[in-house]
């Protein structure tokens, strides 16, 4: 029997190890694993070896009818058995404590802070100081997030609905996201690479797909990624294009992180510097590495106001900053028409499709005072959806609740007439992850 | 005794058959109840095992879609719940019911009617849990640990049925445990002092103490969960003064003693078998008793090792220390078994093979546990297949092997026939190979980062290992079939087993196989914890059968 | 090994109590652990709350529950008298048990009455949850006691308790436990609030 175990052991010895660690802490755990493995192997071989020896040496031989020695055991000896274990624990415990004290310590002055939130069934990482966040999409794509190499990052881990498990396999680390609690840990990835991870705590239907991909990149790549994400983030809440823009500088920061301007058209910027005695200016570049300059405003001390005339910019995303203060005082310019309008469904009779846990329309516009007929089609095999309307997104007043439909399936829904106003619709199973605006126009 | 009288009086076959069934349904005889426990366990083992095979088939290939994620989560949850609460624990209770009264020379359990009640509550509770599959929304799907808020969130009655079922099963085990304790404290034959009780009785006593102290705490947690789902309470809602931690702590405060409830009985069985088949007394009987008590006591102080990664444990090192310390008395058991075999006359009969299989497999499972007992290490493997490997090495490699050892050992006592030896060897071989093939590779999967409770995976690197595990699982299925075949074949043979087929030590071997309804016609004198051994020795010395009465009072 | 003395000791020790009394003691121990589960949650919630009882909770009036607890204590007294009478094989045991039964029913009614006009419900806060679930569980135990007393009375009427008094003893142990729980709940949910708000 030991043979089989032995065979299996040798067969798999190459893979019977945890990750060798993409950070210092992970490597500590790796070596802790090996230390325990050595002890374990000694105990295992000792016990199994003795057993096998006994089975062979002390087997009852044919025709041997003499009784065995009736040894009940001496208390001194079997009390000694406790000592063997205690000695092993005396080796094991300090060893693991040493590792634990390092692995479990949270950096006081991290280079970067990220808040990670688990919700059914996706991760979101929010880079609060950088002003953007990334997230995955349930059943569709894992969250992609990046960290700069050799920088200490502190993670605040939260959950919005149920418990989740953030598992960084290559770092030999995992921690639960628990509703009502913020868990923190820190680590310093020191190996470039792409590290997939997955939720380890059963969290419902989509648990098996609640994945993420962590990329550990160089500082430059990280800065680039941050800018890209920032501009995307800003694009989402950027003011609509205007040819007359008011900028205010206060305490070395702009009053906005994003400016919308019309493409191919000059515009004016009224820049008000409120910082007493501090000089600022306004410049436009292609990106944070400031390779290409499109506009350079004059440097002036506050308090003062200047009107700047900026030449036309082709449609695209740009980067603005104060040349004195650099990235710490920067933002995004979007030239062009915004294209983030959600798909809209209109009329009193239309089709609404749920597919890949997403609605075919993020916005529904219907006339006031008229009942509406919706053909609700669920194309998600084995997944349940419904269509419900609420007064607001905090679900305080339910105005319509459609039946649950398991995909694939179709239902015709008769939504009663509603007074003019802006409402909120969602699938009750997937909540805000699958929601939109229900606009009733008078 | 009623059944004997009935058999004599009524010779018409038809009505007798009917009354035999009724006899079983209404019996308060601890032996019949014990057998019903075992049958009940086997039935649920078949259900839980089928679920496991379905899961393994689903996991055999990456991106497989044999079952949906919703169904898979139900299968895992109910598989774990059934195996723990309706298979393993009742297996040990079944042996306890049959053999504790016999081993202490009692007529029956202290409360025969409560005993019948505790048994019948079991299938009721178990079927309540399983019935979840037939309600809209399906069975409980939040794992056997039923973590909140997921378990609160799940719609449909399945989760409620799970809670109700477990409350019923809990009441059953509490009543059963009280019964065991009273029986052992009060019903021992003259001469059977506490420290002459067979070691299996001690393990049942320790188990029962754990049940009395730990199971009610789970019941309180289950009641909170039920209220949370049905009456809108906010025990686990952080927005309203509650906390997720309340469930985790209540569950695991019960949960860790629970795992020792699941293993102590098997330790007891193995500690009976190894001495018998080594022809030696148990080495350090008192050491084993002390170890049992230490383990039971310590088991109340380690629960947070299941919560190392939750961030809710105020002092990781404390729980790491207690968890490591609990390995010390467990190790003592191993050393005592080894010392028992030293210079013995070892017979590798099927019971002994399974007992040795137990020692080897539980050793692996225990060592797996020691890795996870270090919080820093647990961070790396928590909720991966490493834990699944640990679970099965201790529960299957441990308890199921121990239960099988007990089956082969005690079958002749229960049914008057020794299980077929050859088929027994086949059974052992298949089960041993199948078991290791299934669960050893899970260590690799765990270290490679495969999370538990996932319906499928896309990492193709895990495919081969998973396939091996699946093949192993089917092999286990075959081995269990071989066992059932052995039972069927054996039961068809004439009941010729002698009172003591193995050369046993404890009192159950002093009565006929199977024992009469009143258990003993006469008891041998009890001067040590091995009365049957003493009697055999005296017999060999005198060369004649001593009159039991003459020696019984001393 | 001093085998004989060990045996004798064991027998002396267990002769005092009957199976059912020992069983009841164990049952009460497990019941105590059951309530421990709730109280552990109560004290954790208490320890982590800034204001206790939480603001959302309207503190319930203490009058009726005080009456209830007095009735409960009265029933403990009658139970003790019944128990003593039982030990002395005295027929007054039936009267005292019946008196305990009546007091238990009165207590149950008062408990139900004290729910009326409560300013919070199960979902108001964890305080409300604990209050409702614990008091409901306590009520269930009182009802259990009532059933228990009825059974004991039936046995007593049948004259069975002339020969063995362990059912009465078991009932007494159980009822004392229920009374302790009642008093503890009274202290945590009513007495502790005196002076608050
Ligand atoms: C029969 C059941 C059983 C038993 C006996 C054990 C025994 C042990 N278990 Fe296990 N455990 C479970 C059933 C069991 N476990 C289950 C079901 C889970 C998962 C729950 C879930 O999440 O679903 C679990 C999970 C679990 C965890 C949580 C893992 C996680 O979720 O991340 C941990 C962590 O510490 C742990 C540790 C231990 C230890 C240290 C022992 C020790 O008692 C083992 C002691 C034995 C030995 C060490 C071997 C013999 C000793 C020697 C030869 C002496 C020399 C050795 C030393 C002194 C080190 N177990
Ligand atoms: C005693 C406990 C026990 C036992 C015996 C088993 C037995 C088995 N278990 Fe189980 N398992 C658990 C306890 C147990 N398990 C627990 C607690 C969990 C965690 C649950 C959770 O996460 O919540 C788990 C989880 C678990 C998983 C992890 C799932 C996941 O996380 O996604 C897997 C995966 O392979 C698995 C597989 C198996 C297999 C293949 C067997 C096989 O060994 C089964 C073999 C048995 C059979 C094949 C039945 C054969 C019987 C017949 C053929 C007889 C039919 C005849 C009659 C009519 C009587 N189990
Ligand atoms: Cu989130 Cu599993
Ligand atoms: Cu544990």
**With 70 as the cut, is the pLDDT of residue A341 above it?**
no
Q: Which of B217, B355, B348, B195 is nearest to B285 (CA)?
A: B195
Structure tokens at A424: 């909120």
Q: For A105, name the nearest residue in chain B, comparing CA atoms only.
A: B376
A315 — pLDDT class (breaks 50, 70, 90): confident
Chain B residues with CB under 8 Å of A68 CB are 278-280, 343-345
Interchain contact B/A (3 or more Cβ pairs less than 8 Å): yes
Cβ atoms within 10 Å, residue C87: 12
Q: Which of A422, A2, A418, A433 is nearest to A206 (CA)?
A: A433
Is the preceding omega at residue A121 within 30 degrees of 0, hence cis?
A: yes
Structure tokens at A326: 């650099």
Quick one: DSSP state of residue A206?
A: G
* Interface contact flag, B190 C30, Cβ < 8 Å: no
Mutate one of A38, A158, A208, A394 to test the B interface: name it (highest B CB count within 10 A).
A208
Write down which chains contact chain C via at least 3 CB pairs under 8 A: B
Q: How far, in whole angstroms, is CA B256 from its chain's centroid? A: 14
Q: What is the mean pLDDT of residues A12-28?
A: 80
Q: Chain A window 59-88: which residues touch B at a Cβ cutoff of 8 Å?
A: 59-60, 64, 67-73, 75, 77-79, 81-82, 84-86, 88
pLDDT the model gives residue C6: 41
Pick B383's closest partner by Cβ from A67, A165, A173: A165
Q: What is the mean pLDDT of residues A346-350?
A: 83
Locus of tokens 């030896």: B421
Quick one: DSSP state of residue B133?
A: G
pLDDT the model gives residue A312: 87
The answer to whether the CB of B351 falls within 8 A of the CB of B413 is: no
Q: Check CB contact of B186 with chain C, cutoff 8 Å.
A: yes
pLDDT the model gives residue A161: 87
Tens of pLDDT along A269-290?
989 898 887 888 999 988 776 7
Tens of pLDDT along C63-101?
888 999 999 999 999 999 988 888 887 778 888 989 999
Q: How far, in whole angstroms, is CA A234 from its chain's centroid? A: 19
Kindly report the length of chain B. Answer: 554
pLDDT the model gives residue A119: 86
Residues of chain B with pLDDT under 70: 1-18, 460, 543-554
Q: Which residue has the higher pLDDT, B116 or A362?
A: B116
Pick C19's closest partner by Cβ from B186, B213, B250: B186
**With 60 as the cut, is the pLDDT of residue A6 above it?**
no
Locus of tokens 């469904």: A345
pLDDT the model gives residue C53: 82
| A115: closest CA of chain B, how far (Å) | 16
Quick one: DSSP state of residue A150?
A: T
* Interface contact flag, B174 C30, Cβ < 8 Å: yes
Span from the CA of B327 to the centroid of ligand 4 (angstroms): 12
Cβ atoms within 10 Å, residue A401: 13
Segment holding A272, helix H or strand E: strand A267-273
pTM score, whole prediction = 0.83
Segment holding B224, helix H or strand E: helix B199-230
Pick B232's closest partner by Cβ from C30, C37, C123: C123
* Interface contact flag, B332 A206, Cβ < 8 Å: no
Residues B183 and B522: their CA atoms lie apart, in Å, by 20
Chain A residues with CB under 8 Å of B312 CB are 178, 181
A292 — pLDDT class (breaks 50, 70, 90): confident
Tens of pLDDT along C96-133?
989 999 999 999 999 888 888 787 888 888 888 999 99
Q: What is the mean pLDDT of residues A115-121?
A: 88
* Interface contact flag, C23 B110, Cβ < 8 Å: yes
Closest atom of ligand 3 to A207 CA is 2
pLDDT the model gives residue A89: 93
pLDDT the model gives residue B554: 31
| B464: closest CA of chain A, how far (Å) | 12
pLDDT the model gives residue A301: 87
Non-local CB neighbours of B472 within 8 Å, separated by 6+ positions = B433, B434, B435, B436, B437, B438, B439, B441
Pick B234's closest partner by Cβ from C26, C44, C125: C125
The answer to whether the CB of B167 falls within 8 A of the CB of B146 is: no
pLDDT the model gives residue A5: 58
| C48: closest CA of chain B, how far (Å) | 8
Q: What is the mean pLDDT of residues C7-33?
A: 73
| C115: closest CA of chain B, how far (Å) | 16
Which residue blocks in B395-514 are alpha helix, DSSP H?
401-415, 421-447, 463-491
Q: Check CB contact of B31 with chain C, cutoff 8 Å.
A: no
The answer to whether the CB of C68 falls within 8 A of the CB of C114 is: yes
Strand A258-261 to strand A326-335: parallel, antiparallel, or no bridges (unpaired)? parallel
pLDDT the model gives residue B130: 95
Residues whose beta carbon lies within 6 Å of some atom of ligand 2: B 42-43, 45-46, 49, 52-53, 55-56, 76-77, 79-80, 83-84, 87-88, 143-145, 388, 391-392, 395-396, 400, 438, 452-454, 473, 476-477, 480-481, 484
Q: Check CB contact of B181 with chain C, cutoff 8 Å.
A: yes
Tens of pLDDT along B288-334?
999 999 999 999 999 999 999 999 998 999 999 999 999 999 999 99
Q: Where are the beta strands (DSSP E) in A105-255?
A: 112-119, 122-127, 132-135, 143-148, 153-159, 164-168, 173-177, 183-187, 193-199, 211-217, 244-250, 253-254
Q: Check CB contact of A167 with chain B, cutoff 8 Å.
A: yes
pLDDT the model gives residue A380: 79
Q: Chain B window 372-391: which residues touch A at a Cβ cutoff of 8 Å?
A: 374-377, 379-384
DSSP letters spanning chain C: --HHHHHHHHHHHHHTS-HHHHHHHHHHHHHHHHHHHHHHHHHHHHHH-SSSS-TTPPPPPSHHHHHHHHHHHHHHHHHHHHHHHHHTT-THHHHHHHHHHHHHHHHHHHHHHTTTT-S--TTT-HHHHHHHHHHHHHHHHHHHHHHHHHHHHHHHHTTGGGT--HHHHHHHHHHHHHHHHHHHHHHHHTGGGTT--
Residues B66 and C147: their CA atoms lie apart, in Å, by 52
Burial B357-388 (b: 16+ CB within 10 A, else e): bbbbbbbbbbbbbbbbbbbbbbbbbbbbbbbb
Query: Which residues is A159 bridged to in the sheet?
Result: A118, A179
Longest dimension (CA), chain A: 113
Mean of the per-residue pLDDT values of chain A: 85
* Interface contact flag, B182 C19, Cβ < 8 Å: yes
Closest atom of ligand 2 to B262 CA is 1
Return left, alpha or beta for B480; rule: phi > 0 is left, psi -120 to 50 is alpha, else beta. alpha
**With 90 as the cut, is the pLDDT of residue A36 above it?**
yes
Edge-to-edge, what's the strand order for the sheet holding A153-159? A132-135, A122-127, A112-119, A153-159, A183-187
Our mutation pick for probing the ligand 2 site, out of B61, B69, B391, B462, counting the most ligand atoms within 8 A of Cβ, is: B391
Q: Quote the ipTM score.
A: 0.89
């Amino acid at each position: 029997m030991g043979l089989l175990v032995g065979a299996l052991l040798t067969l798999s010895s190459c893979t019977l190890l945890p990750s060798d660690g993409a950070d210092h802490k992970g490597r500590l755990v790796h070596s802790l694993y090996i230390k325990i493995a050595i002890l374990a192997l000694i105990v295992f071989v000792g016990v199994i070896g003795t057993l096998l020896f006994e089975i062979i040496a002390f087997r009852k031989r044919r025709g041997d009818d003499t009784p065995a020695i009736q040894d009940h055991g001496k208390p001194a000896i079997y009390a000694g058995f406790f000592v063997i274990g205690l000695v092993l624990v005396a080796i094991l415990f300090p060893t693991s404590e040493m590792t634990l004290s390092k692995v479990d310590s949270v950096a006081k002055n991290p280079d970067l802070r990220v808040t990670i939130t688990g919700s059914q069934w996706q991760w979101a990482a929010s880079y609060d100081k950088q002003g953007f966040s990334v997230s995955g999409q349930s059943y569709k794509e894992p969250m992609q997030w990046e960290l700069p190499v050799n920088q200490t990052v502190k993670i605040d881990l939260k959950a919005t609905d149920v418990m989740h498990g953030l598992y960084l396999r290559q770092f030999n680390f995992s921690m639960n996201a628990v509703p009502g609690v913020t868990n923190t840990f820190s680590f310093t990835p020191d190996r470039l690479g792409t590290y997939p991870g997955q939720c380890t705590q059963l969290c419902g239907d989509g648990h098996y797909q609640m994945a993420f991909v962590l990329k550990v990149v160089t500082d430059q790549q990280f800065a680039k990624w941050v800018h890209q994400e920032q501009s995307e983030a800003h694009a989402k809440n950027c003011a609509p294009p205007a040819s007359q823009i008011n900028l205010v500088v206060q305490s070395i920061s702009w009053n906005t992180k994003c400016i919308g301007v019309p493409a191919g058209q000059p515009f004016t910027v009224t820049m008000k510097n409120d910082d007493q005695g501090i000089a600022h200016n306004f410049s436009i570049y292609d990106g944070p590495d400031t390779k290409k300059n499109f506009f350079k405003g004059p440097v002036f001390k506050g308090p003062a106001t200047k009107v700047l005339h900026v030449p036309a910019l082709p449609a695209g995303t740009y980067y603005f900053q104060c040349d004195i203060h650099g990235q710490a005082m920067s933002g995004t310019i979007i030239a062009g028409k915004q294209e983030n309008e959600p798909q809209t469904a209109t009329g009193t009779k239309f089709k609404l499709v749920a597919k890949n846990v997403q609605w075919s329309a993020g916005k529904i516009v219907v006339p006031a005072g008229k009942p509406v007929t919706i053909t609700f089609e669920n194309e998600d095999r084995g997944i349940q959806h419904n269509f419900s309307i609420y007064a607001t997104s905090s679900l305080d007043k339910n105005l319509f609740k459609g039946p649950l439909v398991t995909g694939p399936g179709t239902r015709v829904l008769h939504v009663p007439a509603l007074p003019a106003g802006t409402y909120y619709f969602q699938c009750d199973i997937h909540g805000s992850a699958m929601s939109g605006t229900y606009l009733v126009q008078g | 005794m009623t059944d004997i009288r009935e058999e004599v009086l009524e010779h018409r076959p038809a009505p007798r058959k009917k009354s035999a069934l009724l006899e079983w349904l209404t019996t308060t005889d601890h032996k019949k109840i014990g057998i019903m426990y075992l049958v009940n366990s086997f039935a649920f083992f078949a259900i839980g095992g089928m679920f496991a095979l379905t899961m393994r088939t689903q996991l055999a290939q990456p991106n497989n879609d044999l079952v949906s994620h919703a169904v898979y989560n139900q299968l895992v949850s109910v598989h774990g719940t059934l195996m723990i609460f309706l298979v393993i624990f009742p297996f040990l209770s079944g042996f306890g019911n049959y053999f504790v009264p016999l081993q202490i020379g009692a007529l029956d359990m202290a409360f025969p009617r409560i005993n019948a009640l505790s048994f019948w509550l079991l299938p009721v509770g178990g079927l309540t849990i399983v019935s979840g599959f037939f309600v809209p929304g399906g069975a409980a799907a939040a794992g056997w640990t039923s973590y909140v808020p997921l378990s609160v969130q799940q719609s449909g009655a399945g989760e409620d049925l799970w809670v109700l079922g477990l409350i019923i099963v809990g009441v059953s085990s509490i009543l059963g445990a009280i019964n065991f304790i009273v029986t052992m404290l009060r019903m021992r034959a003259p001469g059977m002092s506490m420290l002459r009780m067979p070691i299996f009785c001690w393990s049942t006593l320790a188990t029962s103490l754990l049940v009395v102290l730990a199971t009610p705490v789970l019941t309180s947690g289950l009641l909170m969960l039920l209220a949370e789902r049905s009456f809108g309470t906010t025990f686990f809602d952080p927005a309203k003064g509650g906390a997720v931690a309340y469930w985790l702590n209540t569950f695991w405060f019960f949960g860790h003693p629970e795992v020792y409830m699941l293993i102590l009985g098997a330790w007891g069985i193995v500690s009976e078998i190894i001495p018998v088949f080594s022809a030696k007394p148990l080495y350090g009987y008192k050491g084993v008793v002390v170890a049992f008590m230490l383990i039971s006591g310590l088991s109340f102080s380690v629960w947070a090792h299941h919560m190392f990664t939750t961030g809710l444990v105020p002092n990781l090192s404390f729980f790491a220390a207690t968890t490591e310390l609990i390995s010390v008395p467990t190790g003592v058991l191993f050393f005592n078994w080894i010392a028992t075999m030293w210079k013995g006359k070892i017979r590798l009969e099927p019971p002994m093979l399974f007992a040795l299989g137990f020692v080897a497999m539980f050793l692996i499972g225990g060592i797996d546990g020691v890795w996870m007992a270090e919080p820093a290490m647990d961070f790396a493997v928590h909720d991966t297949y490493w834990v699944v490997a640990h679970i099965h090495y201790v529960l299957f490699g441990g308890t199921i092997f121990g239960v099988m050892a007990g089956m082969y050992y005690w079958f002749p006592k229960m049914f008057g026939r020794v299980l077929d030896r050859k088929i027994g060897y086949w059974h052992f071989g298949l089960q041993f190979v199948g078991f290791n093939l299934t669960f050893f590779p899970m260590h690799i999967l765990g270290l490679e980062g495969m999370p538990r409770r996932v319906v499928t995976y896309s990492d193709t690197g895990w495919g081969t290992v998973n396939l091996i595990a699946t093949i192993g699982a089917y092999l286990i299925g075959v081995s269990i079939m071989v066992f059932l075949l052995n039972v069927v074949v054996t039961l068809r043979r004439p009941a010729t087993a002698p009172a003591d087929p193995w050369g046993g030590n404890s009192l159950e071997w002093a009565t006929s196989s199977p024992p009469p309804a009143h258990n003993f016609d006469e008891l041998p004198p009890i001067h040590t914890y091995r009365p049957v051994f003493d009697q055999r020795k005296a017999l060999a010395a005198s060369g004649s059968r001593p009159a039991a009465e003459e020696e019984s009072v001393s | 090994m001093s085998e004989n003395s060990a045996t004798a000791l064991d027998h002396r020790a267990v002769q005092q109590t009957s199976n059912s009394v020992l069983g009841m003691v164990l049952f009460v121990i497990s019941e105590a652990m059951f309530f421990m589960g709730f109280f552990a949650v109560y004290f954790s919630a208490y320890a982590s709350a800034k204001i206790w009882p939480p603001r959302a909770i309207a503190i319930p009036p203490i009058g009726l529950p005080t009456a209830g607890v007095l009735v409960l204590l009265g029933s403990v007294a009658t139970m003790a008298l019944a128990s003593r009478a039982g030990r002395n094989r005295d027929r007054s045991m039936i009267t005292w048990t019946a008196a305990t039964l009546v007091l238990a029913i009165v207590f149950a009614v008062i408990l139900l009455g004290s729910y009326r006009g409560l300013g919070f419900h199960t979902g108001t806060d964890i305080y409300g949850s604990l209050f409702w679930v614990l008091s409901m569980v306590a009520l269930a135990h009182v009802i259990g006691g009532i059933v228990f007393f009825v059974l004991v009375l039936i046995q007593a009427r049948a004259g069975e308790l002339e020969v063995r008094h362990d059912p009465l003893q078991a009932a007494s142990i159980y009822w004392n436990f229920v009374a302790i729980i009642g008093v503890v709940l009274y202290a945590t949910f009513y007495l502790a609030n005196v002076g608050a708000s």
